[in-house]
Amino acid sequence: MLKSQSVSQFLDETASNSPAPGGGSVSALAASLGAALGSMVCRITMGKNPNVTIQIELESVLIKCEKLRDKFTSLVDEDTKAFKKVIDAYRLPKDTEEQSAHRTAAIQTAFKDATIVPVLLLELCADAIALLRIVSEKGNKNTLTDAGVAVLMIGAACEGAVLNARINLANITDLSFVEVNRIMIDSLQSTVNNSSHQILFRINERLFSY
Amino acid sequence: MLKSQSVSQFLDETASNSPAPGGGSVSALAASLGAALGSMVCRITMGKNPNVTIQIELESVLIKCEKLRDKFTSLVDEDTKAFKKVIDAYRLPKDTEEQSAHRTAAIQTAFKDATIVPVLLLELCADAIALLRIVSEKGNKNTLTDAGVAVLMIGAACEGAVLNARINLANITDLSFVEVNRIMIDSLQSTVNNSSHQILFRINERLFSY
């Protein structure tokens, strides 16, 4: 599993001439880093702010951030697996008509699976950004830049997921699958983008307006 | 060293209630992931494109990407160290006037060092984005989404570095240091942002315009 590798090893493997792990796994890792920073802000704030309402609210946000972090980290591996499935499908024999039909079907299934992973990443990014809105509003002022970096990581992960989902969709012939996913991608992308901009604007306002 | 930790451990430590590693180290890691993807695109393209001019150009870009990746990875640790130095300075005794003056000076030095790390990250992000422009123009079409994610990681790292640099600058009383750094930050931020948008626009154009 990629998450068991050292940070250096993961970077080396990314930089190698093997296409996986690539942009999809890196996007999922960025999201995981964003969720981790969200958890950090919750924990630090809870340790410093005795207000019971904030304690209870952040405890619940923390639990959700940690669940999301776990899912994001799983997607680091899932994306690499889904990508390899596409490569494997392309390598299937196509000498007979039957083989060729089987190969085409396998390629289509693999591309669908390789679309579902970044679309799931996008959905989870939308969940994460909703949590980070609370984190950035209730978080201790000393951790606001961390909340900001969390938002930036989720934002970058979202855009990476959009690129990966769209490139896989471009290879899929099932038009209803394409249409449903395209609508979902556009909607999730604009949710995450709009929220990110709003939250970062507020963070900058809280930090730098005197 | 943080890079020797497993990906899981690094995420756990980020998510913990200790403020370091925090947003600064995560930004540096995002940049390192971006440089790693840049190297991957170079290597894959060089393996598939026999054109000698492209081979020579990408070989040179690859060497520079790998050097940058190394520097970015060092900054993951540097940022955490610089942050801890600020905390240590605040913990110095301030019982006598002499102690108080020494503590104030140590805090100022620590904040300057903690500013220099993200400003260096920004400078290196500007170098990286210049390389990624070449990578995205010369890279194999199958790796264009990876080049896109590389740009997204550098873009997020840049914005994270800006947040961290600005929050540290806000604590520094040496106005000429503040002014010089503020000008540099603004200029580097707009360089990276403008280039990122242009490159991502071109990537989307190459990938999705038929």
In 3D space, the residue among B66, B152, B85, B168 whose CA is nearest the CA of residue B120 turns out to be B168
CB atoms within 10 A of CB A9: 15
Q: Which residue of A has its CA nearest to B166?
A: A208
Q: What are phi and psi of B151, to 5 degrees?
A: -60, -40
Residues 102-161 of B with CB under 8 A from A: 142-146, 148-150, 152-153, 155-156, 159-160
Q: What is the pLDDT of residue A210?
A: 53
ipTM of the complex: 0.97
Q: What is the pLDDT of residue A133?
A: 98
Q: What is the pLDDT of residue B132?
A: 98
Cβ pairs bridging A and B (under 8 Å): 201
A50-54 contact pairs (CB < 8 A, 24+): A54/A138
Report the residue of B76, B152, B201 to disrupt the A interface, i.e. the one with the largest count of A CBs within 10 Å: B152
Q: What are phi and psi of B184, to 5 degrees?
A: -65, -45
A47 touches chain B (CB under 8 A): yes
A79 touches chain B (CB under 8 A): no
List per-residue pLDDT tens for chain A, 210 residues long. Answer: 888 999 999 999 999 999 889 999 999 999 999 999 999 999 999 999 889 999 999 999 999 999 999 999 999 999 999 999 999 999 999 999 999 999 999 999 999 999 999 999 999 999 999 999 999 999 999 999 999 999 999 999 999 999 999 999 999 999 999 999 999 999 999 999 999 999 999 999 999 875
How far, CA to CA in Å, does A68 sit from each of A34, B11, B141? 10, 12, 32
E-strand ranges in chain B read none
The Cβ-side half-sphere exposure at B36, using a 13 Å CA radius, reads: 29
DSSP assignment letter at A166: H
pTM above 0.90, yes or no: yes
Q: Given B36, B149, B164, which is nearest A163 (Cβ)?
A: B149
- Kindly list the residues from chain A whose CB atom is less than 8 angstroms away from the CB atom of residue B6: 3-7
Q: What is the pLDDT of residue B210?
A: 54
Amino acid at B4: S
Positions of chain B with pLDDT under 50 = none
Residue pLDDT, tens place only, B50-59: 899 999 999 9
